[in-house]
């Protein structure tokens, strides 16, 4: 039987509508307009698209947003100075530095320079630690968006065998943590895993975050599994596609996310959620 397609666009639209309403109420109550600053260094075309989408999403939600474009040869100190300036700007509640950064800049130093209460990507070690402890300030956007999709589709995680393929700091590791915190039994596969295919076939919930088009084939999927495709790749024709062989896998899975229109739109939605929460917390402080 063909899988139900999890419509990320529809789910995101509903969540964004709630965010818009909450933001308007915050502004009405306290005059605070949630503000996001996105810093982009260099001219990576994919990054430029992501940044444009984030800015548009902010505007649609009624947020204030600024995009700061810095040249590709920007020295690290200049970027750190910019972060400091944004840190002190009361109109800015969230600061995001678009990754990857050019080689002369140490990504870790930049992430550490963003104050944890404005770190709406949730990459700062303090926020990573809080998430690990189950006391999050912000959740990392991609895994949080996936958890939200599962919740709103009514897909239970508790007691399920969950397999995450990929162990990056921004997707695989936090995804595994959130599934575990939702009482799933989690296995993580990576490039050194010996039997990824066999492990994947055991999954009730299978999250693929490898970054290779066509990586997840139908023979790696159990009949009736829930398949979440995080990948964002370009195929030979330059078209955006995920990691999953969608045509074949959708004949076996019970639920599947498409690319585009799946995880990506939810990621930006959770960025809005984090920015709004940062702004709301400001209201209680002052």
Residues lying near ligand NAP in the complex (CB under 6 A) are found at 142, 165-168, 170-172, 189-193, 196, 209-211, 230-233, 263-264, 267
Confirm whether 251 is a catalytic residue: no
User: Which residue lies nearer to ligand NAP by CB, 15 or 230?
Assistant: 230
Q: How far is the CB of 138 from ligand NAP (least distance, A)?
A: 16
Least distance in angstroms from the C-beta of 170 to ligand NAP: 5
Catalytic residue among 117, 119, 121, 204: 121
Comparison of 177 and 230: residue with beta carbon closer to ligand NAP: 230
Whole-number minimum distance, CB 208 to ligand NAP, in Å? 8
Cβ distance to ligand NAP smaller for residue 26 or 270: 270
Residue 98 designated active-site: yes
We find the least distance from the C-beta atom of residue 2 to ligand NAP, in angstroms, to be 23
Q: Shortest approach of ligand NAP to residue 283 CB, angstroms?
A: 29
How far is 35 from 26, CA to CA, in rounded Å? 12
Q: Is 4 a catalytic residue?
A: no
| Catalytic member of 82, 98, 148, 245 | 98
Closest to ligand NAP by CB, 166 or 184: 166
Helix axes 8-30, 141-152, angle to 10 degrees: 110
Which CB, 84 or 151, lies closer to ligand NAP? 151
What residues are labeled active site? 54, 98, 121
């Amino acid at each position: 039987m063909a899988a139900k397609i999890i419509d990320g666009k529809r789910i995101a639209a509903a969540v964004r509508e709630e965010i818009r309403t909450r933001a308007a109420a915050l502004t009405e109550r306290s005059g605070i307009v949630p503000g996001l600053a996105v810093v982009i260094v260099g001219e990576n075309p994919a990054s430029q698209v992501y940044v444009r989408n984030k800015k548009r999403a902010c505007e649609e939600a009624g947020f204030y947003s600024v995009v700061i474009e810095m040249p590709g040869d920007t020295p690290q100190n200049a970027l750190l100075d910019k972060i400091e300036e944004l840190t002190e700007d009361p109109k800015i509640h969230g600061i995001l530095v678009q990754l990857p950064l050019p080689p002369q800049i140490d990504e870790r130093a930049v992430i550490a320079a963003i104050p944890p209460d404005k770190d709406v990507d949730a990459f700062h070690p303090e926020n990573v630690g809080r998430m690990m402890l189950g006391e999050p300030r912000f959740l990392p956007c991609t895994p949080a968006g996936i958890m939200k999709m599962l919740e709103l589709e009514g897909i239970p995680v508790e007691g399920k065998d969950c397999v995450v393929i990929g162990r990056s700091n921004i997707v695989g590791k936090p995804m595994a943590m959130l599934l575990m915190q939702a009482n799933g039994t989690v296995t993580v596969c990576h490039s050194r895993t010996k039997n990824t295919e066999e492990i994947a076939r055991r999954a009730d919930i299978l999250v693929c975050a490898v970054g290779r088009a066509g990586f997840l084939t139908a023979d790696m999927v159990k009949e009736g599994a829930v398949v979440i495709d995080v990948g964002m790749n370009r195929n030979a024709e330059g078209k955006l596609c995920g990691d999953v062989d969608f045509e074949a896998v959708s004949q076996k899975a019970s639920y599947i996310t498409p690319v585009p229109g799946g995880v990506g739109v939810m990621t930006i939605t959770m960025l809005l959620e984090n920015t709004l929460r940062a702004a709301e917390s400001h209201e209680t402080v002052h």
